[in-house]
Structure 1
């Protein structure tokens, strides 16, 4: 399954708690679209959120976000994991 990093550009001041709630909403919807949101990172000062997701396509990943909470990614990058 392809691995993507998506990026959301929100207003500064977005909180970890806000993102945790949105992530929980993603998890409740993702199976319908064969998507697996794995992890997320938040830069509260810059208002940026980064999500690591396995998905059949960028559109499938954003469909989950759209249905779960409406905050679709501004960027979606195909990535490969390294160590």
Structure 2
């Protein structure tokens, strides 16, 4: 799970476009961006991603749109 702290002005429509850009380049890096959430009021974006490592996930964001996450947390599915 990655977290972007973007501050004021984050719009869900802009994040949707960035997510589409991620999907367009992710295959070349063994990455699968699954879902995202936007907190417009709090200026945060959360992305759920399957990746071989944090650097691969960051590389996809960097190549797709340049909005690299501020934090990346390894998580595992439960239940």
Pair 1:18-2:10 in alignment: no
Q: In structure 2, what is the equivalent of residue 30 of structure 1?
A: 26
Q: In structure 2, what is the equivalent of residue 62 of structure 1?
A: 58
TM-score (norm 2): 0.97
Query: Per-residue deviation at 1:80?
Result: 1.0
Query: Per-residue deviation at 1:43?
Result: 0.3
Query: Per-residue deviation at 1:82?
Result: 2.2
User: Is contact 1:13–1:46 with CA below 8 Å preserved after alignment?
Assistant: no
Indicate the RMSD between aligned Cα atoms, in angstroms.
0.7
Q: Which runs of 5+ in 1 are unaligned?
A: none
Match of 1:43 among 39, 44, 48: 39
Q: How many pairs does the alignment contain? A: 79
Specify which structure has the higher proportion of strand.
1
Q: Distance in 2 between matches of 1:68 and 1:29?
A: 6
- The structure 1 segments of at least 4 consecutive aligned residues displaced by more than 3 Å after TM superposition are none
- 1:9-54: per-residue Cα shift (whole Å, max 9, x none)? 0022201100000000000000000000000000001110000000
